[in-house]
């Protein structure tokens, strides 16, 4: 089940590529929890939302949809690109998987093409890491060098250490550049 107002790229991959693999998708107005509840079917396995949604900026009650998902044993996934972890913490609200497009607000300038996925538990993280490794979907040294200074700026603006890409950036600091 997926928010009916969802990023166009997400919509396209769900309705074309994934449909070829037999994945069925039900689109629902996730800003109305009663509609989410009514849309759950026997074969529903996960709930995927964006809030604010893209492009209409609809707001979903995250606690309400997590409660619905838990009642039905569904995996919960959220695209948190618009809010960033600075403004919204879906893991703390009970989500299983959080997706961010680092190209947008986290990257800040659209000169970085990257994304990240964070999981609530190690088992799910390991499953996603296997998929990432199988597809080779990693950020290479040039992307790390672009991301690292922003991470430092964000950590200073937040007043806390973000460490992740800074540590990764230090790993490539001595990398030979042509």
In the chain, the number of structural domains is 2
Domain residue limits at 11:
2-123
Direct distance between the N- and C-terminal alpha carbons of the chain, in angstroms, rounded to an integer: 47
| 35 and 117 together in one domain | yes
| 141 and 117 together in one domain | no
| 153 and 113 together in one domain | no
pLDDT at 158: 45
Q: Does position 101 have pLDDT exceeding 70, yes or no? A: yes
Q: Within a domain: residue 178? A: no
| 73 and 100 together in one domain | yes
CA dist., res. 66 & res. 90, Å (int):
10
Kind and range of the H or E run holding 97: strand 97-101
CATH of the domain at 88: 3.40.640.10
pLDDT in tens, 26-82: 999 999 999 999 999 999 999 999 999 999 999 999 999 999 999 999 999 999 998
CA dist., res. 113 & res. 146, Å (int):
10
| 111 and 153 together in one domain | no
| 88 and 153 together in one domain | no
| 113 and 33 together in one domain | yes
pLDDT in tens, 121-168: 999 999 999 998 898 887 777 776 666 655 554 554 444 434 443 333
pLDDT at 29: 97
Q: Within a domain: residue 130? A: no
| 40 and 111 together in one domain | yes
| 92 and 161 together in one domain | no
| 19 and 85 together in one domain | yes
Q: Within a domain: residue 101? A: yes
* DSSP H helical ranges for the chain: 8-12, 18-20, 33-39, 62-71, 84-87, 122-135, 141-158, 164-171
Q: Within a domain: residue 100? A: yes
């Amino acid at each position: 089940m997926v928010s009916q107002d969802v990023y166009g790229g997400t919509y396209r991959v769900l309705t074309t590529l994934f449909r070829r693999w037999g994945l069925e998708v039900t689109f629902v107005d996730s800003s109305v929890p009663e509609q989410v509840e009514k849309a759950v079917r026997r074969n529903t396995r996960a709930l995927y939302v964006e809030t604010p949604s893209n492009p209409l900026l609809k707001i979903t009650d995250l606690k309400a949809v997590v409660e619905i998902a838990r009642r039905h044993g569904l995996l919960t996934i959220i695209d948190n690109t618009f809010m960033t972890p600075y403004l919204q913490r879906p893991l703390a609200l009970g989500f299983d998987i959080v997706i961010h497009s680092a190209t947008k607000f986290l990257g800040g300038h659209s000169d970085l093409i990257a994304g990240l996925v964070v999981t609530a538990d190690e088992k799910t993280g390991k499953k996603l890491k296997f998929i990432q490794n199988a597809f080779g979907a990693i950020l290479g040294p040039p992307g790390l060098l672009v991301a690292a200074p922003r991470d430092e700026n964000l950590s200073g603006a937040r007043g806390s250490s973000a460490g992740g890409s800074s540590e990764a950036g230090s790993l490539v600091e001595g990398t030979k550049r042509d």
